[in-house]
Structures are given as C-alpha cells and as structure tokens.
Amino acid sequence: MKFLGSWLGLAGVVTGIAMAADAPSQPAAGAIPANYRLVFEQHFDGPESLGAFVFSDPKAWRFSDDGASRTLELAQQSKYQPAVRSPVNQALIRDRIFGDFILEVDLLQTGKEYGHRDMCLFFGVQDPTHFYYAHVATKTDDHAHNVFLVKDAPRTKISTSTTPGVNWGLGVWHRVRLERRGASIQVFFDDMSRPIMTAEDANFGPGWVGFGSFDDTGKVDNVRIWAPATPETKAIPFFQPVAP
C-alpha cells in the first residue's frame, strides 16, 4: 500500500525522506530478537482503523485521506486538561497491555518549527496520571527531548542520555523506534544503530501504549509492535473513541 520506490535500499544512505504520500511500509528498520513476534499492526487503511484507539480528545484526531496519504492525524490541539502537567494530545491502543516490546512507527510532524516542536510515544500507561512518555523534539532541555515519568505529579525527566534534538523537517516522514525491556528504555530516530535517548526506570510495569504530542500536531502511520509474549487484553477505562 505504502511502498514508494526502493526505500529499503536507500535507508542506509538517506534518512527522513520527504514525500507527499504515505510513509513507506517495509520490514523492521532495526533487528528483532528471535523470540519476539509481531503482536500488533495498524496501517490506517480506512476510517474504521480509528476504532483501535481511544483519545484524550477524540475531536482533535481524525482519519486523514488526501488522495495520496492515509494516516491517523492529530489535526488540532486537544481540549483536554490533565490533572498534572503532561501531554494533552494522546491516542492510545484501546485494549492491549504491553510489557517488554519493540515499537516502530512512522511519524510526520506538521507544526511550526520551535525548540519544543515534538511528537510523543506513550508507554507503561496505568491511568491518566501514571505513565511514561518519550518526547522527541527539536531541542533538548529539562522539559523537551527526553524520556519522562508522570507519577501523580508534573512530568519528570528520567533520561540517562539524550541528544541535542532532531530535525523534523517539513513534510518529512521519520521512522521512530521504542524498545522497552524490563527497566531499560531506548528510543531511536531514523538511525537504528544509535539511540537518541535512553532511560532506566521500574516505576511501572506493563501498560497501554500510544502516540501524540505535548501541544503540537502531526500524523501517525505504520504502527507495528513486536513482543516475546501475547499482550494482555484489557480495555482502557478512561479516554474516548472517535464517534462513529
């Protein structure tokens, strides 16, 4: 559906390829352990795909099909006020809990350029005030481009390492990878040989997983999650689906 040219053959030379159509669908960008198997996959082929998610504000999200691209789009700021300082735009896989896992997803940031321009990956989500998230942004500081813990208090940076930031570009799809194994957390951006941020934390075990932004906009495509065990089926009792 979404393979544009021989992307895989160019991946070692060019990253963050700009394109007007969907992000390319391809094999895992990084290595997958032999004991892991694909346990979740979503390519947003139609509006019904949104049913796999719940949202902090369903009105901020939509299925996007402009004739060249089919994606989950965060089109506007969510009208959601978290109980503690944390991202307002969240889309979570609605009924599966993941422990150890490897997530790969294609992300396109559609907001204006500034230091905190971001997309986020949520994981270990227990409830709206207990979760982790990776904030992938243009520039790093104590509130951006780090791994964060939300534990019934405003988000706290827990990264053990990070980079100066990333270049989201304009109209550019990026492959982002999150690995969680026990307390170990690693996040990769285009280059799967070196993480852009790492963390070690065991506050939360298995939890829900999702995508979004602190307060920007963007698109999500080609979600795939590998794990060593089948994820537990458990519906999220908070947030809401998109109305049919």
243 within a domain of the structure (yes/no): no
Residue at token pair 């060249």:
68
Answer whether residue 2 is part of any domain. no
Residue 82 lies in a domain: yes
DSSP state of 24: P
- Asked, for residue 240, whether it belongs to a domain, the answer is no
pLDDT at residue 169 tops 50: yes
Grouping H, G, I as helix, E, B as strand and the rest as coil, residue 22 is: coil
Average pLDDT over residues 128-138: 98
Both structure tokens of 215? 């307060």
* pLDDT for the residue 8: 31
For the question of whether the overall pTM of this predicted structure is more than 0.75, the answer is yes
pLDDT at 16: 35
| pLDDT value at 6 more than 50 | no
Predicted local confidence at residue 4, as pLDDT? 32
The reported pLDDT for the residue numbered 220 is 97
Q: Percent of the chain scored above 70 by pLDDT?
A: 89
Structural contact between residues 57 and 74, judged by C-beta atoms closer than 8 angstroms: no
Please say if the pLDDT value at position 10 is more than 80.
Answer: no
Question: Residue 17: pLDDT above 60?
Answer: no
Q: Where is pLDDT greater, at 26 or 175? A: 175
The tens digit of pLDDT for each residue in 54-63 reads: 999 999 999 9
Q: What are phi and psi of 49, to 5 degrees?
A: -65, -25
Number of domains in the chain: 1
User: Can you tell me the mean pLDDT for 211-237?
Assistant: 97
Asked if the model's pLDDT at residue 125 lies above 70, the reply is yes
Range of the domain at 162: 7-27+35-233
Mean pLDDT of the chain: 90
What confidence tier does 25 reach under pLDDT thresholds 50, 70, 90? Answer: low
Is 180 within the bounds of a domain?
yes
- Chain centre distance of CA 101: 13
Q: Which CATH number is 110's domain given? A: 2.60.120.560
